[in-house]
Chains A and B, each alone.
Chain A
């Protein structure tokens, strides 16, 4: 009970500190916030988003800002949890955020979009790929939607006659993976291949994949579709090599990042195909400059999350400039102005040339890549 008294006192103090609300003040900067999981198992994705955005913000500020106004940038952790993501949003709102880049993941992004809708704040999610993320008119996204990726993959495999029998290994407990799997399966019915094996793993059993690979091997599939993040890909490819599975592996944008894992045996990835808008090994000047800066600042190669959020910041810049918006506008006015401009701009980003439709979806072309000799090359 003595502890309880102390705790009560601490609690009262904490509340008193926390409750002091700061009066809103407009100054000559655009305040942009970002949200993502910075701790926990998905930290890799959130850190990509907040760091990628940081690079873009620094570049823009150095070059004179958006129409003369500097960007102030702040990010918050959501631990891959919807409730914490809303907490993060509220924290940023208290900081007078005007535009949100986030949340990183789909579930969190959906939860936060209810709040941005209520506040009519412009939200651009770099990587929230589930259909419902852009349900509201104030929310746009940079990445492909899951249905879009699943369908595009099935069409690509069908058009190029890559396989007759296809196996799928996906994360049934993940929003991203199960979302792509669903539409891939639906589109596969219209294509000239058969889904012979459909096997799942979950976040709680993602150590071993031998049983799923064994099924693919037994069924004699020519191609294994992996709509998953690259974190598990290393183990899957290693086990497949050990078990003598000879199918081609085909993935989506989540697989990018595999080659840049510390100490990754690139021989394992030989012949892996992916349909992705961004690869860190691309030769163009823009990607090279971004990857160089990112490596210098954070010591690792950026993944697609970083590229998406880098593009998100530049998209916001382009839309603000197109609309002629100024920092002293209210959050809601700013949102209306940017929303209108989003439909007009064409973004030359790291992840392709992007235009947007009113339902918040980006239009861009995924590139089919294949890994040869440890580097990405364009697949014919």
Chain B
């Protein structure tokens, strides 16, 4: 976390702060769990929170640091989830839990990264809102394709089809692995809070190191002015691809973590459609666009709010939408920003993250 002259810069200090903050929260929550202070509701939310936080880190790399709008990021998470769950289902009996899960996570990341790379080739030629639409389109295509994908296994090996279960011609004792719209059921429960935290930490360190490196500065220069960056010899497309692919890999990790936390994995519109992609975007924007720490905090807060509002019963989602609108206005309205700066945070040091002004 040091720059080339060997001294801690303000940016490095801030990044270190993010990592320490995460470690402290993890230690505190783990201690509380060990002491039996955490109820099942919150306990059950810990892995999902890690999933969303990782997605926030991943999308922040594309939106906040690379400066391109993606509204199809749930598609990468979907690919990671299905690829890893597919592997775990295949090897559920033949491998131990630890190596299996490790390989499943790597497969989830690799497959999602591969698709990120493939999709990046055409997508990153476009700019602005058009790029956003194409990412949305890719997310929807991925979801649609997974819903018609059937894979079964019997003594003769694996069978694939996009026609339906019947077309597989499975033997009677055959087993469905991916069953079209019914998805994958019975993925082993390997995800734990500790694994989730480690994945989150790895993602954060990768992204923070990237932004602090030569490549990262090139990527941010593309964000700030693409044409100027190109004119000083920065290979724009290559760096865009780099950031996009890394982001997809991280989303794949999140997908693997998600898939191994639930017994039923279905590519529903609400889970892997544009709605979810936009939710991830909410994390990034509410967190301040470009600030990894902000995105993580926003992900945690926005995951907890609807859960803690459960007592409101049928009014829960209505209140949640109002809170979302109000938070956005308070956080982004120039007047309220100035007011908060003057009255609340004015006396604190103005500690900025790497690319916080986005």
Contacts and interface: CB of A to CB of B under 8 A. Distances in A.
Interface string A170-193: 011111011101100110000000
Interface stretch (B97-105, B116-124, B199-207, B303-311): B303-311
Contacts of A174: 181
B268 A203 contact: yes
A20 interface: yes
A114 B263 contact: yes
A81 B264 CA distance: 10
Contacts of A235: none
A80 B352 CA distance: 40
Given A11-B297, A94-B41, A173-B181, A86 B262 contact: yes
B261 interface: yes
A179 B150 CA distance: 13
Contact of B331 (A3, A10, A11, A107): A3
Contacts of A186: 166
B268 A81 contact: yes
Which of the four size classes fits the interface of chain B? Answer: 35 or more
A132 interface: yes
B294 A179 contact: no
Contacts of B151: none
Contact of A175 (B181, B297, B344): B181
A370 interface: no
B314 interface: yes
Contacts of A90: 39-41, 43-45
A130 to B, nearest CB: 6
Contacts of A87: 41, 44-45, 48, 307
A370 B159 CA distance: 41
A88 B263 CA distance: 15
Contacts of B164: 181-182, 185
A37 to B, nearest CB: 9
A91 interface: yes
Contacts of A83: 48, 258, 261-262, 271
A380 interface: no
Given A14-B301, A83-B48, A2 B340 contact: yes
B308 A14 contact: yes
Interface residues of A, number: 62
B180 to A, nearest CB: 6
Given A18-B42, A76-B310, A94-B40, A7 B301 contact: yes
A109 B258 CA distance: 17
B298 interface: yes
A296 interface: no
15 contacts: A1-B351, A4-B291, A4-B293, A14-B305, A17-B308, A18-B42, A18-B304, A21-B37, A38-B314, A77-B310, A80-B268, A82-B262, A93-B41, A107-B264, A113-B263
Interface of B: 29, 32, 36-45, 48, 140, 144, 147-148, 164-166, 180-183, 185-186, 189, 258, 261-266, 268-271, 273, 286-288, 291, 293-294, 297-298, 300-301, 304-305, 307-308, 310, 313-314, 316-317, 330-331, 337, 340-341, 344-345, 348, 350-353, 356
Interface of A: 1-8, 10-11, 14-15, 17-22, 38-41, 76-77, 79-83, 86-91, 93-94, 106-108, 110-111, 113-114, 130, 132, 135, 171-175, 177-179, 181-182, 185-186, 202-204
Q: Which 9 A-B pairs have the closest CB atoms?
A: A2-B345, A21-B39, A90-B44, A114-B263, A110-B264, A90-B40, A90-B41, A39-B317, A178-B181
